[in-house]
Amino acid sequence: MFDFAWPWMFLLLPLPWLCWRFLPPASAIQQGVLFAPFINTCQEKQPAAVNLPILQSLRLWLVLLCWFLLICASARPQWLGEETELPESGRNLLLAVDVSGSMGIVDMGDGHTNRLEVVKQVAGEFIRRREGDRIGLILFGTEAYLQTPLTFDHTTVASLLQDTVIGIAGRETAIGDAIGMALKRLQTASGETVLILLTDGANNAGHVQPRRAAELAAQQGLRIYTIGVGGEPRQIQGIFGLRRVDPASDLDETTLKMIADKTGGQYFRATDRDTLKAIYHQLDKLEPTMRGHQMVRPTTELFVWPLGLAWVVSFLFAMRWWRI
């Protein structure tokens, strides 16, 4: 639809008439201020100006048209497109995923899928459910790096998570550095920020200790939910009979609980695909998505058209042919 942003500008339309009606006319100069004896000769050589009533009337209408176009441009004509519904959100959600070498252990699925593949499937579904949240992805191993900044483009975040491979950030585990990377994002983000950190090991690399990182996170208001992944202890048949194997023996649950407690979050333990799905559904309840929406209209400014036409009219008026 067509609209004017400042319609009150049309109140200025009668301004020229008011000036003509109530202001005194300018007094004509009766004699020149500079003596030029040759001026009469120059004037005699000038052709006589045409003084036809129709041209005088045309000049008046051109002036009025130019004034009308300037007022139209000042009123900011706009073309408003169809209303679009945009989700509102005050939350930033960072996912920190462990991609160290131990994430290649096959103990959480059907016997053929390793830990990272299970995480990618479940976390991918979680990302797609977070309508209205800005989501970022941090990958960490020996080093921690930002895979995607905070964005509303959930499809891209999920796609980059699916493309992640084990060992891309090193074979060890730097939990403290992953939290430090999230704190860097917190400095440039507005609104509430939450970190969901998933790992299957203990901190054995990096430059920042997890306890110190958790203290800094608590000071800056970063809430951290930690998830420890790894299968349950089981009995397997060996050469000398049955023996007990714990696939998650490297998992440092004490540190993960400490990080969650210090920052106001919560610790979860995932032993298989189903428990990991349940954890992410629980996170949906603990950190619900914002369901509010706002209606916006794309706006195209059209003031350049009457302004440009006023320039053309004023140019024609300024041409010598119109000076009568």
Listed range (24-38, 82-96, 114-128) with the worst mean pLDDT: 24-38
Show contacts of 112-120: CB within 8 Å, 24+ apart.
114/166, 115/200, 115/229, 115/230, 116/164, 116/166, 118/229, 118/272, 118/273, 118/276, 119/198, 119/229, 119/276, 120/161, 120/162, 120/164
Residue 176 lies inside a defined structural domain of this protein: yes
Residue 324 lies inside a defined structural domain of this protein: yes
Query: Do 264 and 314 sit in the same domain of this protein?
Result: no
Q: pLDDT tens, 262-320? A: 999 999 999 989 999 999 999 988 888 765 566 777 888 999 999 999 998 888 777 75
Query: Do 58 and 165 sit in the same domain of this protein?
Result: no
Q: pLDDT tens, 42-94? A: 555 445 444 567 767 777 888 888 899 999 999 999 988 887 766 555 578 99
Contact criterion met (CB below 8 Å) for 176 and 209:
yes
Query: Do 185 and 251 sit in the same domain of this protein?
Result: yes
Q: For residue 104, what are the domain limits?
A: 87-293
Residue 317 lies inside a defined structural domain of this protein: yes
Per-residue pLDDT band for 185 (boundaries 50, 70, 90) equals confident
pLDDT at res. 63: 84
Q: pLDDT tens, 219-260? A: 999 999 999 998 887 656 556 656 666 677 889 999 999 999
Percent of residues, the chain, with pLDDT higher than 70: 82
pLDDT at res. 238: 57
pLDDT at res. 264: 94
Query: Do 288 and 316 sit in the same domain of this protein?
Result: no
Query: Do 215 and 257 sit in the same domain of this protein?
Result: yes
Q: pLDDT tens, 216-227? A: 999 999 999 999
pLDDT at res. 49: 47
Residue 126 lies inside a defined structural domain of this protein: yes
Distance between CA atoms of residues 192 and 169, nearest Å = 28
Phi, psi of 253 (to 5 degrees): -70, -30
pLDDT at res. 245: 62
Query: Do 68 and 122 sit in the same domain of this protein?
Result: no
Query: Do 78 and 94 sit in the same domain of this protein?
Result: no
Listed range (39-43, 54-58, 102-106, 180-184) with the worst mean pLDDT: 39-43
Angle, alpha carbons 199-204-205 (nearest 5°): 100
Residue 186 lies inside a defined structural domain of this protein: yes
Residue 39 lies inside a defined structural domain of this protein: no
pLDDT at res. 253: 93
Query: Do 67 and 214 sit in the same domain of this protein?
Result: no
Query: Do 221 and 323 sit in the same domain of this protein?
Result: no
Domain containing residue 255: CATH number = 3.40.50.410
Whole-number average pLDDT of the chain: 84
Query: Do 96 and 201 sit in the same domain of this protein?
Result: yes
Q: Where are the alpha helices (DSSP H) in 100-189?
A: 115-129, 154-162, 175-188
Query: Do 172 and 66 sit in the same domain of this protein?
Result: no
Q: pLDDT tens, 142-174? A: 999 999 999 989 999 999 999 999 999 999 999
Query: Do 122 and 203 sit in the same domain of this protein?
Result: yes
Residue 41 lies inside a defined structural domain of this protein: no
Our count of domains for the chain comes to: 2
Residue 45 lies inside a defined structural domain of this protein: no
